[in-house]
């Protein structure tokens, strides 16, 4: 199906896809998306589901929203991505998700400016863009 899509394309997958073969999902995120010119948006309720580990590790952007039953998952992703700056990450998450429908964008793209790793209000209609910077610099 993906081979027949016009290029470039945006493919949106949700976690109901967990019935998919783990190897194929891994190929989508590591090889196919790069070589076949498409991007993937993957929506999940559980970032730590075993089958999506490769997808999570290869994600260039992660958006997390407030979910009271996911406190440990948020802490885990912060520990993995910001091991020496966990407090900075958790504080950014709390501030970004303190309002209804608030979100924290985690930018892990290799070419992105490291000072822009954590931000919110990224859309054109948002009044002010917010970038979270650690107190002791980058």
Q: How far are the Cα atoms of 56, 80, 111 from residue 108, in angstroms, in the given order?
A: 11, 12, 9
Tens-place pLDDT, residues 97-134: 999 999 999 999 999 999 999 999 999 888 899 999 99
Tens-place pLDDT, residues 29-66: 888 887 888 888 888 888 877 777 888 888 889 999 99
Angle at 65 between CA 60 and CA 69, to 5 degrees: 120
Residue 91 is given by DSSP the state H
Element housing 63 (H / E): strand 61-65
Q: What is the pTM of this model?
A: 0.84
């Amino acid at each position: 199906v993906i081979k027949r899509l016009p290029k470039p394309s945006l493919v949106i997958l949700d976690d109901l896809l967990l019935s998919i073969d783990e190897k194929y999902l891994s190929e989508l995120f590591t090889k196919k998306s790069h070589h076949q010119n498409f991007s993937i948006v993957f929506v999940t309720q559980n970032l730590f589901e075993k089958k999506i580990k490769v997808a999570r590790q290869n994600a260039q952007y992660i958006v997390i929203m407030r979910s009271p039953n996911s406190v440990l998952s948020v802490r885990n992703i912060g520990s993995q991505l910001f091991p020496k700056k966990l407090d900075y990450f958790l504080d950014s998450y709390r501030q970004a998700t303190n309002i209804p429908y608030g979100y924290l964008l985690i930018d892990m793209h290799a070419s992105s400016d490291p000072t822009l790793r954590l931000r919110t209000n990224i859309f054109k209609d948002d009044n002010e863009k917010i970038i979270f910077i650690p107190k002791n610099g980058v």
